Structure 1
Amino acid sequence: MSFLRLEQVTRSVELPDGSRLDILRGIDLEVAVGDHVSIVGRSGSGKSTLLNILGLIDTPTSGSLEFDGVPLEKLRMGARDRRRGRDIGFIFQQFNLLPRRTALENVSTPLLYASGRQFWRRERLATEMLERVGLGARIHSTPDQLSGGEQQRVAIARALVRGPRLILADEPTGALDVETGAQVMGLLDEVAESTGAALITITHDPNIALLARRHFRLDKGVLSPADDATAGLAEFVEVAG
C-alpha cells in the first residue's frame, strides 16, 4: 500500500534578478508502508529541498504529494504540522541534541507535544526507547558525556519515540566512522522494520545507500531509479564529487 506519493513534483525559487532557479524537476516517487528507500545525491543536487517536501516542511511549486492517501493541498497548515509531529521522525547528521539535557530529557522532548497516554507516560516511553537502542545505562548522561555513536543512538531514539510512520534520515552516518555508521544503520533498519515504519535515507555514501531495498539517484533535481546499479551508485557519487 502506498503511504507517500509524489507525482511530477517541482520546486523553483525566483532569484533577485527575476530569473527562476529550478531545484527539483518532475519528481515521481512512491513509498510503501515498511519500505526502505535510499536517495543518493551530491551537494547541490536538491536533497535538502526534497527532504523538506517529504517531511511536510516545504510545499512543491507544482505537482502533487499525497501523504497517507491525503493530498497535501487538502491539509491546512495546522493539520500538516500535527501530521509532521505525529507521523514523521527526523534523524540528522549533526544529531541536534539539546546540550544541557540528559539523554532521557532529549528523547522525551517530542512527547511534550503528544496527548493522552503518550504525554503522561513520556519518561517511561523514552526510557524504553533508549533501552531498545542499547543506552539503558546512559539515560542520565548529557551529550558531552556520550560518544558520537551514542549521541546518534539518542537521536534515533528521539526520532522513533512517538512511533512515526515515516522516518527521514538525512546523512545519518556522515559524522561517524565506518564501523559505527554501519551499526547505526543496522539498528535503524531493524527498529523501522519492527515498527512497520517507512524509512527514507538521504545520503552521499553509496555504501549506506545500498543497505536500502530500493535505490534512487538525485542529480540536478532529477530523481531516477538505480535498483540495478550497485557499482553505478558509487561511480555516480565519485564523479559528482
Structure 2
Amino acid sequence: MSLIELTDATRTVLIPDAEPLTILDGVNLRVDPGERVSIVGRSGSGKSTLLNLLGMLDLPTTGELTFEGESVTAMKSGRRDRVRGSNVGFVFQQFNLLDGRTALENVTMPLLYARGPRFWARERLAADMLDRVGLGHRLSALPASLSGGEQQRVAIARALVRQPKLILADEPTGALDVETGQSVMTLIDDIVREENAALVTITHDPAIAARSDTHFRLDRGVLSVTDARAGVGAGASAEGTTAVVL
C-alpha cells in the first residue's frame, strides 16, 4: 500500500474578473514508505502548492488524495488535522524557529499535541532528537546564537521528533552554503532511512534532487517523471506522462 497518493489532482484558484488559474493540472504521484522522492521546478511552477497538498494543508480542487489508503479528500477537517499532526513532518528553507525559544523548546513544541507517555516525556524526546542531529550541547541556545546550519538542524529535529511517516522538505538547503547543504541532506537521509520514513524534497538544485530514489519535474502545474525507474517505483501514472531530462 502506498503511503500517500495523488490521483488526477488539480488545484485551481478563482481570480476576480478573470479566468480561474490552474496551478496543478492532473497530477499523479504515489509515494511509498521509505521512498525518497525529489521534485524539481522553476519558481511559480506549483511546487509549494503540491507540497501543501501532500502535507494535507490544502485539498485538490478535483481528483483524489489518499493517505495509507484512506481518502484525505473525504476527511473532516479535524480528522485531517490529526492525521497530519501525527504523520507529517515539515522542513522549511527559512527554518521558522521561534526566536524567543531555546533549541530544546522549539523541538519540544510539536510534542505539546502528543498524548499519553510521549506528552509527558516531551523534553527528553526533544533532547534525544537534538543529540541525534549533533546539537545535544546546544539545548539552551536561542536561534540568534546558532549558525545557519545549526538552525536547520534544529528545524530537522523539530520535524522528526514525532517520528512522522512522511517528511516534506521545502528547499531545505536553499539558505545554506553548498557544503553545509550537503551535510544537512546527509543527516536527513540518514534519519529517514533509520525511521523508514518517506521523504519528498522540493528543490531547484539538481545535486540535491539526485540524492533521491525517484525524480520528477513540475512544469506549469504538470508533473513528469524524470527517471525511468520512477515510473514504477513512485507509482506515477504512465498515461499522459512525458519523461524529461533534468
User: For residue 102 of structure 1, what is the aligned residue in structure 2?
Assistant: 102
User: For residue 154 of structure 1, what is the aligned residue in structure 2?
Assistant: 154
User: For residue 232 of structure 1, what is the aligned residue in structure 2?
Assistant: 245
User: For residue 188 of structure 1, what is the aligned residue in structure 2?
Assistant: 188
Give me the whole-angstrom Cα distance separating, in 2, the residues matched to 1:215 and 1:151: 27
State whether residues 45 and 218 of structure 2, in contact with CA within 8 Å, keep that contact through their aligned partners in structure 1.
yes
Q: Does 1:218 align with 2:231?
A: no
User: For residue 236 of structure 1, what is the aligned residue in structure 2?
Assistant: none
Give secondary structure in 1 for the equivalent of 2:153.
Answer: helix
Give secondary structure in 2 for the equivalent of 1:39.
Answer: strand
Shift of 1:50: 0.5
User: For residue 23 of structure 1, what is the aligned residue in structure 2?
Assistant: 23
Report the AA paired with residue 3 of structure 1: L
Give secondary structure in 2 for the equivalent of 1:7.
Answer: strand
State whether residues 59 and 73 of structure 2, in contact with CA within 8 Å, keep that contact through their aligned partners in structure 1.
no
Report the AA paired with residue 121 of structure 2: R
User: For residue 130 of structure 1, what is the aligned residue in structure 2?
Assistant: 130
Give secondary structure in 2 for the equivalent of 1:74.
Answer: coil
Q: Does 1:71 align with 2:71?
A: yes
Give me the whole-angstrom Cα distance separating, in 1, the residues matched to 2:97 and 2:87: 20
Q: What RMSD in Å do the two structures reach over aligned CA positions?
A: 1.2
Shift of 1:34: 0.4
Give secondary structure in 2 for the equivalent of 1:137.
Answer: coil
Shift of 1:228: 5.1
State the number of aligned residues: 232
1:21-100 to structure 2, matched below 5 A, reads 21-100=21-100
Shift of 1:160: 0.2
Shift of 1:20: 1.0
Give me the whole-angstrom Cα distance separating, in 1, the residues matched to 2:18 and 2:138: 53
User: For residue 143 of structure 2, what is the aligned residue in structure 1?
Assistant: 143
Shift of 1:69: 0.8
Give secondary structure in 1 for the equivalent of 2:10.
Answer: strand
State whether residues 8 and 62 of structure 2, in contact with CA within 8 Å, keep that contact through their aligned partners in structure 1.
yes
Give secondary structure in 2 for the equivalent of 1:189.
Answer: helix
Give secondary structure in 1 for the equivalent of 2:3.
Answer: strand
Normalised to the residue count of structure 2, the TM-score between the two structures is: 0.92
State the identity %: 62
Give secondary structure in 1 for the equivalent of 2:98.
Answer: coil
Deviations 1:28-73 (A, max 9, x none): 0010000000000110000111011000000101011111110113
Q: Which runs of 5+ in 2 are unaligned?
A: 230-243
Give me the whole-angstrom Cα distance separating, in 2, the residues matched to 1:6 and 1:177: 33
Give me the whole-angstrom Cα distance separating, in 2, the residues matched to 1:228 and 1:106: 40
Normalised to the residue count of structure 1, the TM-score between the two structures is: 0.94
Q: Which runs of 5+ in 1 are unaligned?
A: 234-241
Deviations 1:76-102 (A, max 9, x none): 100100111110000000000000111
Give me the whole-angstrom Cα distance separating, in 1, the residues matched to 2:132 and 2:188: 11
Deviations 1:152-203 (A, max 9, x none): 0000000000000000000000000000000000000110110011000001
Give me the whole-angstrom Cα distance separating, in 2, the residues matched to 1:34 and 1:142: 33
Report the AA paired with residue 3 of structure 2: F
- Report which of the two has the higher share of helix: 1
